[in-house]
Amino acid sequence: MTHHRYLLFIGLAFVLAGMMAALFRLAPLGLIQALVIAAVFLAAALFFAHYFIRDDSRWWALLPAGLFFTLAVMRLLDGLAWIRPELQSVVFCSGVSLTLYCLWHTHRTRIQFVWARFLAFITAVAAVTLFTLTTGWIDTRVIVAVGLLAAGIWLLLRRR
């Protein structure tokens, strides 16, 4: 495929997604609509994943692939009502964390991708924090105390 065809495909995907978003805004979100939206997000994820797999130097394509996959999972979970709606943010943070970890893991020998590992860790901590706050099984004060203790210990034990 030439570069022009990729742009054509991306443009058509965005137009289709925009039309479906406008259409589904007018009707309540049902299971069929959730499946269609998830399929569109999954198709976009596969497109970007294929773009990355064909040429490893296109590392940036892994980011939209992971995010579109995360959005597909979120839409499926919402359509099937498998999790409570307030846990969608946990799923999103987990998907972002996994995407960033995959980016770092595939390029871990290159020093310029160290940032991905740190962002993956931060978003994973955010996912755990959001989960504990929304489920209420750990008090907010406990999370703050543990976070402060962990940061203090890390600063004290850090090698220069």
Q: How confident is the prediction along the chain (160 residues), in pLDDT tens digits per residue?
A: 456 666 666 776 677 677 666 655 655 557 777 788 888 888 888 888 888 888 878 888 888 999 998 988 888 887 777 777 788 888 888 899 989 888 888 876 677 888 888 888 888 888 888 888 787 766 667 667 777 777 777 777 765 4
51 is written with which tokens? Answer: 């773009």
Q: What is the CB neighbour count within 10 angstroms for residue 66?
A: 23
Distance CA 136, CA 159 (A): 36
Q: Tell me the CA distances in angstroms from 94 to 75, 76, 125, 148, one per residue in order.
A: 15, 15, 9, 22
Q: Give the integer Cα–Cα distance in Å for 113 and 60.
A: 11
Least Cα distance to 94 among 116, 121, 76 occurs for 121
pLDDT of residue 7: 67
Q: How far apart are CA 127 and CA 114, in angstroms?
A: 20
Q: What is the pLDDT of residue 144?
A: 74
Tokens of 85: 């709606």
How would you classify residue 4: left for phi > 0, otherwise alpha for psi between -120 and 50, otherwise beta? Answer: alpha
Confidence at residue 107, expressed as pLDDT on a 0 to 100 scale = 77
Specify the pLDDT at position 137: 67
pLDDT score, position 105: 83
| CB contact at 8 A, 48 and 68 | yes
pLDDT at 59: 84
pLDDT at residue number 88: 83
Domain regions of the chain by residue span: 1-82, 88-160
CA 110 to chain centre: 23
Using CA atoms, how far apart are residues 49 and 8, in angstroms rounded to an integer? 17
Residue 112, CB-side half-sphere exposure with 13 Å CA sphere: 3
